[in-house]
Amino acid sequence: MGILEKGLEALYPSSIYCVSCGSIIDATRNYALCDACAEKLHWLGQKTCSRCGKILNEEDRHDLCWDCRQFAHDFDRSYTCVQYGLYERGILMDYKYRGKSYIGRKLGDILYDRISLEEEVFDLIVPVPMHRKKEAKRGYNQAKIMAAQLARRMKLPCAAGLLERVRETLPMKGLGAFERHMNLEGAFRISRQSHYELKEKRILLVDDIYTTGSTLDACSKVLRQAGAGRICGLTFACGANIPPKQ
Ligand SMILES: [Zn+2]
Ligand SMILES: [Zn+2]
């Protein structure tokens, strides 16, 4: 645990309050969620998109979600934990915009349990980077804290400085898949300071939320060009499988 995290742990003991509603819980609760909130989250069901991991209806006759049937991806596979809804939004808003960076470790634990269900082997955990100006303003990169906890649990290196975001991009909210793709064109690169050998390396990219996959795609493209082997994504939440309104 770093000094910053130790300080935060003292200020906000992460296992005493539910990360979603703030009610008092005991330390035995999974992920620091009270029972009521754990039940309200939209945990993934049996049926998920065989490419991006988005949650599909049990009666869906497709193996792929609507997005994955329209667009190819640069990553090999992606996994997620919950579908983005009211409670998931609340947790992520607190985590990203209200300074509650300690939530990241709990999300990292959730990611660990999720990826442990899969027969995947990785060499390196890579968080999706933020632009340094944005990270400086927020004080932390939410993907990095989650990835660091996941890496600790998986006993793998967390290559936080491997990728960098070289271009400030428009907020993705409200953009369609193609616009998202264009918005991220050339936004990432391998950091010049990075000493990681990427040839044939199996990489797990970590982000907080998966919408159309354009962020994971843009990162995967750069890693692929640098010689990476299998590239997977892992996010806390994913958007719903809904075709966009025409
Ligand atoms: Zn709660
Ligand atoms: Zn999909």
pLDDT in the model for residue 171:
78
Ligand 1: distance of its center to the CA of 92 in Å?
14
Cα 209 versus chain centre, distance: 5
Is the pLDDT assigned to residue 60 strictly greater than 90? Answer: no
- If DSSP codes are grouped into helix, strand and coil, which group holds residue 169? coil
The percentage of residues in the chain with a pLDDT greater than 70, rounded to a whole number, is 93
Cα 199 versus chain centre, distance: 23
pLDDT in the model for residue 184:
85
Average pLDDT (200-217) is 95
Task: Read off the pTM.
Answer: 0.89
pLDDT in the model for residue 180:
81
Question: Of the ligands numbered here, which is closest to the C-alpha atom of 29?
Answer: 1
Average pLDDT score, the chain: 88
Ligand 2: distance of its center to the CA of 1 in Å?
35
Q: pLDDT tens, 107-122?
A: 999 999 999 999 999 9
pLDDT in the model for residue 2:
55
Average pLDDT (222-233) is 97
Average pLDDT (86-115) is 92
pLDDT in the model for residue 7:
52
Tell me which residue of 141, 197, 196, 137 sits closest to 165, measured CA to CA. Answer: 141
pLDDT in the model for residue 50:
94
Question: Of the ligands numbered here, which is closest to the C-alpha atom of 37?
Answer: 1
Average pLDDT (123-128) is 98
Ligand 1: distance of its center to the CA of 25 in Å?
8
Cβ neighbours of 100 (radius 10 Å)? 16
Question: Of the ligands numbered here, which is closest to the C-alpha atom of 213?
Answer: 2
Q: pLDDT tens, 3-48?
A: 555 554 554 455 677 888 878 887 777 788 888 888 888 888 778 9
User: From edge to edge, which strands make up the β-sheet containing 42-43?
Assistant: 42-43, 77-83, 231-238, 203-210, 124-127
